[in-house]
Structure 1
Amino acid sequence: MRISVALILLATQLPATAALAIGQEAPSATALSAEQAFATADQLLTAGRTADAEELLRALANDPSRPLRSEARFRLGRIRAAAGDYRGAVRWYQALLDEEPGAAAVRLELARVYARLGEATAAARELRRAQASRLPIDVARQVDRISAALRSSAPRGLDLSVGIAPDTNINRATGSRTIDAQGITLVINRDGRATSGVGLQMGARGYSRLPLTSSVNWLFEASGTGLVYPSGRYDDVSGTLAAGPEFRSATEQFHPALLIGRRYFDGHRLLDQAGFSLEGRHAIGRTTQIAGTANAIYASYPGRPYLEGFGYGTSLDLEKAITPRLFGLAGLSGSRSDARDPAYATTSVGGRMFVSRDAGRFTLFGGISYQHLFADAVFTLFQRRRREDYRELQLGTSARLFSIHGLIPSARVTISRNSSTIPFYSFHRNRLELALTRQF
């Protein structure tokens, strides 16, 4: 196989001895064999000309031959990782795996890079995917070394997303114009009925780690979400701060934290909260792990003291890499919200299932969830207790193929239905999210 590199042939710019050696192998100045091209890249790296080596390898990464593309992408990933550009390394390794998902050694390199970025969840997921196939002995040994690397994490990071969200029911309200309350027909005004709109959706999460020991960090996190509409009505903005120790081992992760948060809705302060959260993960075998959360949070509603009280929640998920391309999750959850008015005090239980599959440079995903909720006491107006059944279906895709400067586009469709014995709480909602996501 011979590769045309007329526009980027750099061998003639190497030291004389290197250029002579290459000239002895290549019959022309505009074509190199695969072996010669990679040898040239190696010589450029040895000479300290990393940018030139990357330019040559990027050209080879677009070659019609898949083995040649894969080798070039692998080398580019290692160069980016060695330079400390771990996001760049992720992009090259992921591009390789999009075409060759069974390349376990590459998936392990991707896991190693995620570990250096401090993204333990992503690193563990890639390890499980790699181990979903039979590993050679030398590759299996790397798993142990990478698992150990998960104990150390990146000192800081930032995730950003922005997009638009057309929604048939931005205020999660009933679509009925009238409701019946003990034989009396009540007319719902326009603000109390389902309203559609297209909002600007934004999200950010930043974190910083302060190492305490080789396996313990102090983790600070700040996150925020915003959904705003041209009219300013039903804008939904919230933010949370959290801090606490983070314990890591090769197979486990444990993170208790204190947190505070605030939420604004429709231009008014809706909620203040403060409390405690707990997250944990434990690996089961090579391809499966259990992830759990628990929290206890006091919620204060300015102007609506009858809603105030403690809230408690817990969840447990079983995550499994079924194949290197296919990932699945099944989970259960429960929550309890106290309130001064027992009609607003509720208990809920639910479950969810989620699956994702890599398809080339796309990831397809889908999920279903269900939640049943019941209140402590009856609503005086309706003389019945609130009981609800909430169902949700999600389908979507993320497209690395169309990534621009690290911005990855995604699309998600969510269809939700809530049936309630209290008519105000019954609603139908269809929502589309088109977003761009970037990690730093």
Structure 2
Amino acid sequence: MRITAAIALLAATLAAVPTHAQTLLDRCAAATCKARLTPEQLLGETQVLIRDKRYDEAKVLLAALSKIPELRFETRYLTGMVAAATGDNQTAADEYKAILANDPSQTRVRLELAKTMLAMGKPQSADRQFRIAQQDDDLPPDVARTIRTVRNIIRSRRAWSLDVDFGIAPDTNINNATDASTVTVLFGSIPIPLTLDEKAKARSGTGETGSISAGLRLPVADRMAMLFDLDSIGTNYAGSDYDDYLVQFAAGPSYRITDRLSVSGQAVGAQRWFGGDVVTRQVGTKLGAQLTLSDSDQIGAQIDLRKTDAKFDPAYDGWQGSAYLSYERAVSKTLVASLGAFARRDWLAADAYSSKEYGGTLGIGGELPLGINFAVSGTVSRATYDAPMPLFSVEPRKDWRYGARASLGYRKIRVLGFSPSMSVSYATTDSSVRYYATDRTRFRFTLARYF
């Protein structure tokens, strides 16, 4: 099996261990001995025993070392090595994760964890650890080459992925309504101010939320695979008036042109329910490409074209096209920054609802000490519409749109594999037509698991 070969390749690359002198146990084998060892000397004795594969004896010394707080890192690391060498991969993984939770910059530990994940039959988890380790600029060239080789093997063999979360979602605007109290409408050329009914204003609420993201990759030829992706998210509020659910499915081929460049094309179908009714159906296609510039830099591009069938209003029927360009760079061993640009065009049945939008995104995320994962991002865009809405204005609508999102996860706590996470997102629209000005803050407090 190629994954087995990958484990052997990585183990051989990481296996260089300096030669030490004979242990105290050997020197005292023929006599009764008493010795006083410093913690550092005891650690050295343990390393020699592990080098010589005398694991039962090493465990005795590790038990003694575990009582020395100053050597907690070394003890955990060596305990993980002994556990992995004796087939107790779960204990090894737990020890390595404990180290990384306190200090995510320990690249050697991360590589050992990745190797252990491979041995446990968890290639997706291993690939994630390899990807982070690969961003260390101080990696020896031979280790960096080995990681690239192993990651290529994992990607070629990876079969499936599944991410699940569930929790609660407080929201300041569950109906995505205007933040205006009054609007001005035109009666001919005469402006008339009107006070909005309470039902037209923003309404807050808290619902139960959950999401599922699943992927299947089936190799069909050398460098080619079929991709199947399912993404769904939903929030259930009291009653059904504002329940919101979205399901999207995509399927199509992916081809790796070189070790650094891959392309894909997928057919896409999506459906959204709001208030208990189907509001939109979409069918279309998306094309993507990803280029790895170096171990710390990569570029991605995507084109998405869909036909929309709007069940709530035929004026919103039509086509939607989008293009995305992103750049990611590792700014440290555990932090990745991203920069993106996007353009979107809606060709809908009504010109007043057809629009062009251009914008950009900026973000950073990664791992912090104490088992904390985080991500922060911001978006700004400009949208202009093709024709005016005579009820509100003689000029076409123009919007400035702003968004921000922050998320935190805490991997140290696990309940049946689920860890707590939270996110907050803010979106506001400053529109030339006051009725379309919105303001919304959404929270999600969830338990999440990544298979």
Report the TM-score range of the alignment, normalised by the length of the smaller protein.
0.7 to 0.9
Contact conserved, 2:110 with 2:130, CA < 8 A, in 1? no
- Structure 2: unaligned runs, 5 residues or longer: 1-24, 35-41
Match of 1:256 in 2: 265
Match of 1:435 in 2: 446
1:380 shift after superposition:
1.6
Query: Greater shift after overlay, 206-215 or 378-387?
Result: 206-215
Match of 1:287 in 2: 296
Match of 1:404 in 2: 415
Contact conserved, 2:268 with 2:285, CA < 8 A, in 1? yes
Match of 1:205 in 2: 213
Of the candidates 373, 388, 391, which is equivalent to residue 378 of structure 1?
A: 388
- Structure 1 residues 60 and 334 mapped into 2: Cα distance closer, same or farther (>3 Å)? farther
Aligned partners of 1:160 and 1:408: how far apart in 2?
Answer: 11
Match of 2:284 in 1: 275
SS in 1 for 2:176: coil
1:430 shift after superposition:
1.9
Contact conserved, 2:83 with 2:89, CA < 8 A, in 1? no
Name the % identity.
24
Aligned partners of 2:396 and 2:266: how far apart in 1?
Answer: 35
Contact conserved, 1:93 with 1:106, CA < 8 A, in 2? yes
Whether 2:425 is the aligned partner of 1:417: answer no
Match of 1:216 in 2: 224
Aligned partners of 1:432 and 1:342: how far apart in 2?
Answer: 34
Match of 1:323 in 2: 332
Contact conserved, 2:287 with 2:304, CA < 8 A, in 1? yes
Of the candidates 377, 384, 393, which is equivalent to residue 367 of structure 1?
A: 377
1:26 shift after superposition:
10
**What does 1:182-201 correspond to in 2, within 5 Å?**
182=186, 183-201=191-209
Q: Deviations over 1:75-117 (max 9, x none)?
A: 389579x8898xx987664443333433333444556758963
1:219 shift after superposition:
1.5
Match of 1:138 in 2: 142
Whether 2:84 is the aligned partner of 1:75: answer no
Match of 2:9 in 1: none
Aligned partners of 1:84 and 1:439: how far apart in 2?
Answer: 19
Whether 2:251 is the aligned partner of 1:243: answer yes
Match of 1:49 in 2: none
Whether 2:180 is the aligned partner of 1:176: answer yes
Look up the equivalent residue of 2:197 and give its one-letter code.
Answer: N
Query: Greater shift after overlay, 311-320 or 174-183?
Result: 174-183
1:72 shift after superposition:
4.4
Match of 1:105 in 2: 108
Query: Greater shift after overlay, 158-167 or 70-79?
Result: 70-79
RMSD: 3.6
1:326 shift after superposition:
2.2
Contact conserved, 1:76 with 1:92, CA < 8 A, in 2? no
Of the candidates 127, 132, 135, which is equivalent to residue 126 of structure 1?
A: 132
1:177 shift after superposition:
2.6
Match of 2:8 in 1: none
Look up the equivalent residue of 2:182 and give its one-letter code.
Answer: T
Look up the equivalent residue of 2:108 and give its one-letter code.
Answer: A
Contact conserved, 2:55 with 2:82, CA < 8 A, in 1? no
Contact conserved, 1:234 with 1:266, CA < 8 A, in 2? yes
Look up the equivalent residue of 2:323 and give its one-letter code.
Answer: T
Contact conserved, 1:111 with 1:126, CA < 8 A, in 2? no
Count how many residue pairs are aligned between Structure 1 and Structure 2: 406
- Structure 1: unaligned runs, 5 residues or longer: 1-19, 28-32, 47-52
- Structure 1 residues 207 and 76 mapped into 2: Cα distance closer, same or farther (>3 Å)? farther
TM-score, normalization by structure 2? 0.79
Look up the equivalent residue of 2:379 and give its one-letter code.
Answer: S
Look up the equivalent residue of 1:413 and give its one-letter code.
Answer: V
Query: Greater shift after overlay, 413-422 or 347-356?
Result: 413-422
1:128 shift after superposition:
4.3
Match of 2:12 in 1: none
Higher Cα Rg: structure 1 or 2?
A: 2
Query: Greater shift after overlay, 137-146 or 167-176?
Result: 137-146
TM-score, normalization by structure 1? 0.80
